[in-house]
Amino acid sequence: MVLEFSATGVMGETPNLSIPRIEAAIATLEPALRGYFQITVHKTVSSTNQLLWERLEAGVQAGTVILASRQTSGRGQRGRHWLSEPGGLYLSLCATPKLAAQDGPQLTIASAWGIARSLRDGQIPVSLKWLNDIFLQGRKLGGILTETRLQGDRITTAVIGVGVNWTNRVPDVGINLHQFWANHPESPSCSLEMLAARVLVGIEWGLYRLEHRGIEAIRPEYEQFLKRFP
């Protein structure tokens, strides 16, 4: 049985996120991750990635998560501004991968694969666009930004940031999950807490498989998830 919570929310508003509900959803989706994440929730931050890097300087560890209802300076790939209005899911997770610096992109591939698999398990039929975009019905649903720190030629720390549109306003090229559910009432909706849990569990699925089986154990299914763009 998969634990679900009712999906509530007015367009452009974010409900108060409940850490206990997120933790309960994580434990249901992946019991091995019960108690693993150390989650803090904020109303507004400049950037969840930036705040997590600041916390890392104070000695926080792998599994630390920053969640925010809004970002004022959210970032995407290549320094692009990520629109982060209330109603979306914005989170960053700390990881300590064992990878050569040149293999850094594998972290994004693994995370994208895991998130896509987890969302699909929740009957959200997402696809991926190389390297880091999450699409739904041909429109952008979310994205991933991975940042790393090096020691010599090895990655010592990674911060994996994810944004997913839930009820937030989006441009015409985007979609949020409530728009999808409105057009597909047969698909079960989920709360923002369950969405956060699915994203976090998905990232950990990807990182675990990458560490224990390598990128070649991820690549075939990742490529199946890729949407073909002109």
Share of the chain above pLDDT 90, in %: 82
Predicted TM-score (pTM) of this structure: 0.91
Residues in the chain: 230
Q: Which residues lie below 8 Å from residue 174, measured CB to CB, with a gap of 6+?
A: 139, 140, 141, 165
pLDDT at 9 over 90: no
SS (H, E, C) 176-197: CHHHHHHHCCCCCCCCHHHHHH
Q: Are 227 and 135 in contact (CB under 8 A)?
A: yes
Using a 10 angstrom Cβ sphere, with 0-12 exposed, 13-18 middle and 19 or more buried, the burial of residue 205 is buried
Q: Which residues lie below 8 Å from residue 139, measured CB to CB, with a gap of 6+?
A: 173, 174, 175
Tell me what the mean pLDDT of segment 132-146 comes to. 96
Please name the residue that has the structure tokens 């705040």. 51
The pLDDT, as a whole number, for residue 77 is 54
| Residue 229 binned pLDDT confidence (cut-offs 50, 70, 90) | low
| Residue 11 binned pLDDT confidence (cut-offs 50, 70, 90) | very low
170-202 confidence digits (pLDDT tens): 999 999 999 999 999 999 999 999 999 999 999
| Residue 5 binned pLDDT confidence (cut-offs 50, 70, 90) | very low
> How far does the chain reach from its first CA to its final CA, in angstroms?
40
| Residue 4 binned pLDDT confidence (cut-offs 50, 70, 90) | very low
Q: Is 227 helix (H, G, I), strand (E, B) or coil?
A: coil
Strands (E), 16-116: 38-45, 64-71, 89-95, 99-100
What superfamily does domain 19-225 belong to in CATH?
Answer: Bira Bifunctional Protein; Domain 2 (3.30.930.10)
d(CA 110, CA 76): 18
Q: Which residues lie below 8 Å from residue 115, measured CB to CB, with a gap of 6+?
A: 126, 134, 144, 162, 198, 199, 202, 203, 206
Least confident range from 8-22, 97-111, 207-221: namely 8-22
The pLDDT, as a whole number, for residue 22 is 98
77: tokens are 């790939």
Q: Is 209 helix (H, G, I), strand (E, B) or coil?
A: helix
Strands (E), the chain: 38-45, 64-71, 89-95, 99-100, 127-129, 133-136, 139-151, 154-164
77-134 confidence digits (pLDDT tens): 555 655 678 999 999 999 999 999 999 999 999 999 999 999 999 999 999 999 999 9
